[in-house]
Amino acid sequence: MIPHNVDSLHSGWVFSVDKPLGWTSFDVVAKLRNTIRIRYGVKVKIGHAGTLDPLASGVLVICAGKATKTINDWVETPKKYRATLSFGATTESYDSETKINSTGIPVPLFTKEISTLIESSFLGTISQVPPIYSAVKVNGKRAYKHARNGILVEMPERKVTIHSLEWISTIGNSWEVEVSCSKGTYIRSLANDIGQFLGCGAYLSSLIRTAVGSHLLADSKSLDEWITLLGGD
């Protein structure tokens, strides 16, 4: 429960929000900032601890007041996701934001041997290239702004760590997997890379962030619930 006094607000609040589909991380921050301003009559510093794409839902950690000093601590913590990879097709954004293009290449049946091959190639520290439709800055501008203007830019490679891959369902062309990973990991890039590895192509068709450090999805509140607790509409 949020304590209803300004002193505790300035001391710092941390919100674990189950971000709704279609909202940007900035949208959530802006909505909570405005709700706090209306409820308490003060402006307060507020920010999120790691972007979550509009087409993804799940845990988004928001820090307000002096708690914003802990944002980097949350950014550094491991993350967990539940992702659905759709094989046999690719997209420019590596998810369903852009046109889906069938590769026409048969999708292999999931086997223990394929699982072992994927794990041997993608577990541990790997090199990853973020999607061109991402918030990574290239030449001083967000990469997605270049992409939406039809400008091709070279995306910087980065090192990320995949701690675990646990396959939940692997029926047909849609394979569901739980991923535990380091900060900075793009699950969209992981989906695309696994598709290339298997030769049939793949894109990310669904993504839920289930944990940011100790903040779990099961313990998070929806944005509407937080607004109600804050006395907003």
Six token digits for residue 202: 């793949």
Catalytic pick from 18, 53, 95, 193? 53
Six token digits for residue 34: 């405005």
Residue 156 C-beta-side C-alpha neighbours within 13 Å: 12
CA distance 8 to 103: 55
Q: Is 53 a catalytic residue?
A: yes
Residue 97 is which amino acid?
A: E
Residue 31 is which amino acid?
A: K
Question: 153-156 long-range CB contacts below 8 Å, 24 or more apart?
Answer: 155/129, 155/130, 155/131, 156/129, 156/130
Closest CA to 121 of 185, 171, 196: 196
3-state secondary structure of 14: strand
CA distance 141 to 157: 17
Residues labelled as active-site residues: 53
